[in-house]
Structure 1
């Protein structure tokens, strides 16, 4: 089981960490291998505790929850790319990817991954179109909270997404069926990637649906006011 970081007074933890780091060179020079590793473990524990305590300062009402610290940091950085190293530090837990999935599917937060953005970037390059300068730089191990809005309808959509994906014969069918169940809703790229079975062709499916007459808004088509990674079905081809 992964170690869960404890939180405390950030200044006290900082001072303890400084003291450990001051002692570390001598320990690494003269200690046994076991003592060297133990010293590094102690430093790592206090470093993680300091990170979790900084995260806790953003979520004082639920400071003991790694998921709450994670969400508080993402909300503090809304619209900005966040690396997994940052999330690991402020969450203070090893299973933060699962917590991110919970924040999406069980709480409706519009968090997209670098994997979804990679699909958008590849599709834009294939069409020789210019994508969003910021999101196009996202790496696979990065995340972005698109908007500081908790969408309760997204919770319903995520509950239905698995069934749609499992019974749909192809990516375009799955994406179309999913959008039909969310008319006029702000659907994220992460939802579309998931319902497509994590198939990177979901942006091409959006284009194909548009070619058939579906009105699907996004930042590059129909609504430059939308953030990158948000899609809205205005009307579907009957």
Structure 2
């Protein structure tokens, strides 16, 4: 089972491998990995993990030449030369080196315009842990930052855990203010406590009525969210 788990991981987007048991999450040692899948797979994992760490280096730049996948750790903030294909790139704008035209590294106006267009729905936000910009266009509220691997809730921005359910079924766009997010969480907890109390006191049939109340509370949070956006 262990060899299947390790071999099935995508080393090109490698994270540090950990034990698959939820209650463990201990890092898998490279010597154990080598014993399970062999030296070649372990070397591939080691190289992918190094590249993943190098990508987070603020001095790292990809070669601007199409088809070249070389990642260069630059020694200065001027031009850099790819050791693989000898292409010269600009550290600031990450494109080809240039001399006589404006460096787009000063201000990427096209990106700012794009973020402003989708930002009307709060679809682009900063990771609450590392501040990396994240665009969400689909999926559930359980987010994992691709940069720092921090897991959090998109709606309330709190750290994600297995018991997080207060924001379930709320719009993934979320509220436009900290007060709105707090109100959404509070109403979610109140609804859950109400359902449990009704079932314990009045039994199953009263649960149907409490479910209607729960749906009403969810609807009210969505209505509040629409009002805040407008």
- Name the TM-score, length of structure 2 as normaliser: 0.29
State the structure with bigger RCO (CA 8 A, min sep 6), 1 or 2.
1
**Normalized per residue, which structure has more helix?**
1
- Name the TM-score, length of structure 1 as normaliser: 0.28
Q: Which of these two proteins has the greater Rg computed from alpha carbons?
A: 2
